[in-house]
Amino acid sequence: MNADDKFQQLWRSKKTAPAPDIKALLAKAAKVKGAVKRKLILSYVLLTATIIWICCIVAWSHPKMITTWIGVVLAIVAILLYLASSAGLIKQLFAKGQEEVPVQEYLQNMLQIREKQRHLQRGILNAYFILLFSGLALYMIEYARRLPATTAALVYGAVTVWGLINWFYFRKKAIAKQEQSLGAVISKLEAVIADTKN
Amino acid sequence: MTIQNGILTKSPNSSSSQQRAFDELYADYWDKVFRLCMGYVNDDDWAKDIAQDTFITVWQQLSNFRNEAAIGTWIFRIACNNCLRQLERSSKFVRKEVDKAEEGPVVNEDEVNFLYQCIATLNETDRLIISMELEDVKQAEIAGILGMSESNVRVRIHRIKEKLTEKFKAYER
């Protein structure tokens, strides 16, 4: 027997896993769809709850200065932006009918999505922190004015330190984590695309 | 819907005939798709998951299938894309146990497993090419599925088989 025939014979001798029952297979399809839907719904519930909570605080504290209102709006925009971008990405990642396209096109699509995700996540993360902290700083003006100067300076100092820790530690950590997983996937995709072109 | 010689013919009575056509495809292609996925990941459970995902897509997209390619080519293309999608699971890596096996004599491993282990050491594209070649997919179709030229596929198959032959010679010694 020549090598070709031998390889083919060995290849076909592989014991395959029994095909799952068709009903179970189709139930799995529905389950995946349901899981994605649940994740999206949970995001929107969280979003609505957070905004309602912020609105309750505002209603309870009766702000009079415009800076307080601007601060509240900025914080809400930051949260909306973050959740909208993650929901959009989930939708994009589970877009239907992509598996049917030629392999090279499929890989290019995956690469584009991942590059977009990297770009978007970094941009959104920066915007989220900037909006949230400028919102908080503006919101606090009205209440800080009622405090003695030293206490107000202390409060603002603490918030600034907290903001700097977030910017230089948590934001950097989040970007590094994202870079580690996403960067590895992007380089692998680029390598396979280059390989199919050779 | 009926399948004759790899061509899908649509009929107006779509719902039950789609189910029948799918049942037929599932029975005919499960083993082939499973082996292709095994060639790619060399892990039974993982291969089963990818094969299942492939048939879920086949079920969902069957009504949109146009006979631009043979149905088998279409299914293999979906399977290849699902295999390559595993690149995104960076936490999980393909089992390349043959690297360990090469250090000493292989014991308790039969030739079938050894072949699948050897294939697992190849790069992503080569794993898919050789899996489809061993599954008797025409080289022109492999080229079409992967978006490569036919001559490139032919050269690669030749090189891969050379590598496999060398590994088997060393294994049999």
Nearest CA in chain B to A19: B30
Q: What pLDDT sits at residue B14?
A: 64
What does the alpha-carbon distance between residue A35 and residue A30 come to, in Å, rounded to a whole number? 9
pLDDT, residue B48, reads 93
Instruction: Give me the pLDDT at residue B156, please.
Output: 95
Size of interface A-B (CB pairs under 8 A): 128
To the nearest whole percent, how much of chain A has pLDDT over 90?
7
Ranges assigned E (strand) in chain B: 2-4, 7-9
The full set of domains in chain B, from first to last, is 2-88 (1.10.1740.10), 98-172 (1.10.10.10)
Is the ipTM reported for this complex over the cut 0.90?
no
Whole-number pLDDT of residue A2: 79
Nearest CA in chain B to A3: B165
- A4 contact residues in B (CB cutoff 8 A): 161
Specify the pLDDT at position B101: 44
| Exposure string for A22-53, b = 16+ CB within 10 A, e = fewer | eeebbebbeeeeeeeeeeeeebeeebeeebee
- Kindly report, residue by residue over A94-122, the tens digit of the pLDDT: 565 567 777 888 888 888 878 877 877 78
**Residue B87 above 90 pLDDT?**
no
Give residue-wise pLDDT tens across range B136-170. Answer: 999 999 999 998 899 999 999 999 999 999 998 88
Backbone φ and ψ of A22, nearest 5°:
-60, -40
Decide if B52 and A28 are in contact by the 8 Å CB cutoff: yes
A residues 22..61 contacting B (CB < 8 A): 22, 25-26, 28-29, 32
Asked if the Cβ–Cβ distance from B147 to A10 is below 8 Å, we say no
Give the confidence band of A90 by pLDDT, cuts at 50, 70, 90: low
Q: Which residue from B14, B47, B7 is spatially nearest to B30, judged by alpha carbons?
A: B47
Residue of B nearest to A186 (CA): B88
C-beta atoms of B60 and A96 within 8 A: yes
> Are the C-beta atoms of B117 and B96 separated by less than 8 Å?
yes
